[in-house]
Amino acid sequence: MSIRHILKARRGAAAVVVTATLALTMAGCGGDTAKNPEKSSSARPGAGNSDSGQVVPDTSTTLATVKGPKDIDLVINTVKRESGGFVTVNGQMKNNGSAAFYDMSPWRGTEQEVLGGGISVAGATLIDKAGKKRYYILRDTEGRCLCTSGLDKIDPGKSIPVFFQFPAPPESTAEVDFQLPTFPTVAVKISE
């Protein structure tokens, strides 16, 4: 068999693999968002700004309030164990001051993957003290955090919804420490 025929066969096989991969990817990501709003990207927990019509977290409960830099408070509303093997933390960043707050860059952490992704809350971690493990924010296949991103400022007297998704600790772990740079560590209970 000549090299020309071998190269032609390899190109054909590569095309089949790429086509199959794309088909599977599209099938896994697709769905009718009109019938199933959970599949819509705007339905991610706490995604985006409440002024843009995005989903706003349930603020009827408050698990913890942590004082941060300047007049910023992080309010944690829910910490829920999800069926997919992850934990979602929902909350709000509140600006209790009289000036807009812009200094959010420490919240994105120092991992190389997050430094190029804009301002986010990807620097958050969960710590399972009993299991002696630290859990970092989950990432999608392109390295973007499964957390609130695209932050630029918090206006005075306003709050913005935030969410963080982590790998789930073992079922026996009912309480974890939540950390976000520039905020003190806080212990929170995981609900089922």
- Please determine, for residue 53, whether its predicted confidence score (pLDDT) is greater than 80: no
- Please determine, for residue 48, whether its predicted confidence score (pLDDT) is greater than 70: no
Residue 59 dihedral angles phi and psi, to the nearest 5°: -105, 15
Asked whether 69 and 179 are in contact (CB, 8 A), the reply is: no
- Please determine, for residue 74, whether its predicted confidence score (pLDDT) is greater than 60: yes
Considering the chain, what is the average pLDDT of its residues?
Answer: 77
pLDDT tens per residue across span 8-40 = 555 555 554 455 555 555 555 544 444 444 433
The predicted model gives 101-105 an average pLDDT of 89
End-to-end C-alpha distance for the chain, whole angstroms: 61
Reported as type and span, the H/E element at residue 69 is none
CATH architecture of 45-189: Sandwich (2.60)
- Please determine, for residue 89, whether its predicted confidence score (pLDDT) is greater than 60: yes
**pLDDT confidence of residue 58:** 73
Q: So where are the chain's domains? A: 3-30, 45-189
According to DSSP, the residues that pair with 126 across neighbouring strands are 135, 178
In the Cβ-directed half-sphere of 59, how many Cα atoms lie within 13 Å? 15
**pLDDT confidence of residue 100:** 92
Residue 51 vs residue 160, higher pLDDT: 160
Q: Are strands 159-167 and 175-179 parallel, antiparallel or unpaired?
A: unpaired
**pLDDT confidence of residue 57:** 61
Residue 39 vs residue 123, higher pLDDT: 123
